[in-house]
Amino acid sequence: MHHYQTVLVAVDFSQHSEKAIARAKQLAAMYEAELQLLHVIEEPMYPIYDDISLSATPNAWFPDMLENLQKAATEKLTHLAETNQIPATSCHTLTGFPKTQIVDYANQIQADLIVMGRHGMSFFDKLIGSTTDSVLHQAQCDVMAVTLDS
């Protein structure tokens, strides 16, 4: 039987990902595996002119914005970890596209299981394929998509 050693949970602060944390905690305890939490900060998109274009680099306009987002996300993730009795040292935040960052980070830490919510907070993404769907296709390790009802 395979014993998972490193379990990565992708957290977007939705109810779904909180459920994923609970499930991953159970599995990590069962396998005595290391548990890691990852949140990916998506750079906000801004309209440059009405209906014309979108900019993914608001940093040029608001230099502190990304820094503030990173600080707020780190605090929120650490708090969520604490409420689940998970050490702050297991929390990581990255910036970029969640679907690629989750897979890259899983490879980097040699995770053998990624646990995520079947759904999340995103709305627009549903039209072009969800984060979970993409990670399921791209990941080099097992992926568990947790439902709210399970």
Residues binding ligand AMP (CB under 6 A): 10-12, 14, 16-17, 20, 38-40, 42, 98, 102, 116-117, 119-120, 122, 125, 130-132
The residue among 14 and 53 lying less far from ligand AMP, judged by its C-beta, is: 14
The distance of closest approach from Cβ of residue 18 to ligand AMP in the complex, given in angstroms and rounded to an integer, is 9
The residue among 90 and 131 lying less far from ligand AMP, judged by its C-beta, is: 131
Q: Provide the terminal-to-terminal Cα distance of the chain, rounded to the nearest Å.
A: 23
CB distance 111 to 8 below 8 Å: yes
The distance of closest approach from Cβ of residue 71 to ligand AMP in the complex, given in angstroms and rounded to an integer, is 16
Sorted by sequence, the CB contacts under 8 Å of residue 83 that are 6+ apart come out as: none
CA distance linking residue 100 with residue 98, whole number of Å = 6
- Residue ranges in the chain assigned as alpha helix (H): 15-31, 65-83, 98-108, 125-128, 131-138
The distance of closest approach from Cβ of residue 54 to ligand AMP in the complex, given in angstroms and rounded to an integer, is 18
The residue among 4 and 99 lying less far from ligand AMP, judged by its C-beta, is: 99
CA distance linking residue 28 with residue 21, whole number of Å = 10
The distance of closest approach from Cβ of residue 105 to ligand AMP in the complex, given in angstroms and rounded to an integer, is 9
The residue among 53 and 67 lying less far from ligand AMP, judged by its C-beta, is: 67
